[in-house]
A = this chain, B = another copy of it.
Amino acid sequence: MVIELVNVLGLDIGGANTKAAFLKTQDGTVKELRTSVEYFPIWKSGKEQLPRVLEKLKKGLVDSALDGVGVTITAELSDAYMTKKEGIHHVLACITEVFGEAPMFVLDVEANLLLVKDARSEPLEVASANWAATGWMISQLIKNCIVVDVGSTTTSIIPVIKGKIAAEGRTDLEKLQNGELVYSGSLRTNVAAIVNGIPVQGRVAHVSSELFAQSGDVHLILGNIREEEYTAETCDGRGKTRREAMARLARVVCADTDMLTEQEIVEMAKFVYYKQVEHISGGLKLVRERIKTSLQEKIVVVVTGLGRNFLARKAAENAGFKDIIDMKEHLGAEASVVSPSVGVALMLASRLEGKTVRWKQS
């Protein structure tokens, strides 16, 4: 008996980035994985451009007939749409336009893959379910843990108990309330949303409420990310050198690089960094508090996403966790920054194969 290759594409349609993972599996094993990210700020570039972006990802990744496309969507929150419902319907229409020939499935907040028609009739069930893809994938590898996935824009905190996702919040709103979503990330977070004030030259300065600098500037200044990892637009449209990032951060306290020294700006960056870690740590503590009765044994934290080390790991340490696992060791660096698209692809491959396909780096 010849076991055929299964070819699936996982899509994670975010508001700022569109991510794709093309996966070939055979008999429960991953044979090949290719991933790609397109920076596509939908509220700025225009939602009518989405099919073009999807075409580009398809062309760059897919080299054989697709057995299925798995989709997770967060772009519906973008203000390109008046309501989430409108957003889900539009994204599904674009995907159908581009991948019409392949069987399509949409992830819901219960980590089920729905048919497109069912997703259309219950759009809020499939809104912002990307964390469920990551949670499912990791739950296949580590049975008891809390996943901290720090992306460019947001952080998902996903409890996994006895191999099952144990998230309590279904919507983003519920997750913002219970700590499972912290709207803070490695690159795109407005510094004015992280801190109210920053000590400068020995005295706390309240901050400007403009979008003068973002977390990417802070992490570039501190060497947490390299220029090529800063894959978001800058606030002033200028470049991604350390000097340009310092000018942006100085502006947050209405200063500039003539008024502040390099060392003073680095001290500002450290303070913002500390507050961001504290913020993520706060979410993690809330989640731990809730699950600790059901999870008697020692809780492991699994860190993933672009900010897995300088934000997720630091937040876990800050919350007192000792056992911290870097998903990069399981997934590789490439897949660990696009976990939801890989996760939804693995889920779909498992469904098509009729057995669980686990990702292990070869």
Chain A residues with a Cβ under 8 A of chain B: 43, 77, 79-80, 82-85, 124, 128, 153, 171-173, 175-178, 181-184, 188-190, 192-194, 197, 200, 203-212, 235-238, 247-248, 251, 253-259, 283
* A256, closest chain B residue (CB): B83
CB neighbours (8 Å) of A188 from chain B are 209
Return the contact of A255 from the options B173, B203, B212, B259 (Cβ within 8 A): B173
Least CB distance from A129 to B in Å reads 13
Contacts of A77 in B (CB 8 A): 208, 251, 254
Closest B residue, CB atoms, query A212? B79
Q: Are B193 and A177 in contact (CB under 8 A)?
A: no
Q: Is the CB of B193 within 8 A of A205?
A: no
A176:B83 contact, CB within 8 angstroms: no
Asked if B209 contacts A190 (CB within 8 A), the reply is yes
Of B43, B208, B210, the residue contacting A236 (CB under 8 A) is B43
Q: Are B247 and A83 in contact (CB under 8 A)?
A: yes
CA A27 – CA B21 in complex, angstroms?
A: 77
Evaluate contact between B238 and A209: CB separation under 8 angstroms. Answer: no
Each complex incorporates copies of this chain amounting to 2
Q: Are A258 and B203 also in contact (CB < 8 A) when A173-B253, A190-B211, A211-B190 are?
A: no
Which residues on B sit within 8 Å (CB–CB) of A194? Answer: 209
Of A183, A189, A210, A257, most B-chain CB atoms within 10 Å: A210
Distance in angstroms between the alpha carbons of A183 and B96 in the assembled complex: 46
A203 contacts across to B, CB distance below 8 A: 177-178
Contact A253 B79 (CB under 8 A): no
Closest to A202 in B: B177
Contacts A77-B251, A83-B257, A257-B83 known; A209 to B189 CB distance under 8 Å? Answer: yes
Contact: A79 with B248, CB < 8 Å?
yes
Cα A85 to Cα B197 in complex, Å, equals 25
- A-B pairs with beta carbons under 8 Å apart, 24 shown: A77-B208, A79-B248, A82-B247, A82-B256, A84-B259, A172-B254, A173-B253, A173-B254, A176-B205, A176-B208, A176-B253, A177-B200, A177-B204, A181-B206, A183-B207, A183-B208, A190-B190, A190-B192, A190-B193, A190-B209, A190-B211, A192-B193, A193-B207, A193-B209
Contact A173:B200 (CB < 8 A) given known A79-B251, A254-B77: yes
6 additional A-B pairs beyond A79-B238, A124-B259, A176-B197, beta carbons within 8 Å, are A85-B256, A171-B255, A173-B200, A176-B254, A177-B203, A192-B192
Report the minimum CB–CB distance from A135 to chain B (whole Å). Answer: 18
Q: How far, in Å, is A106 (CB) from chain B's closest CB?
A: 18
Chain B residue with Cβ nearest A176: B205
Contacts A193-B192, A256-B84; A79 near B176 (Cβ below 8 A) = no
Q: Which residue of B lies closest to A205 (CB)?
A: B176
- A206: which of B128, B183, B237, B254 is its contact (CB, 8 Å)? B183
CA of A216 to CA of B223 in the docked complex: distance in angstroms? 37
CB pair A79–B235 under 8 Å, yes or no, is yes
Please indicate the chain B residues that have their CB under 8 angstroms from the CB of A251 in the complex. Answer: 77, 79
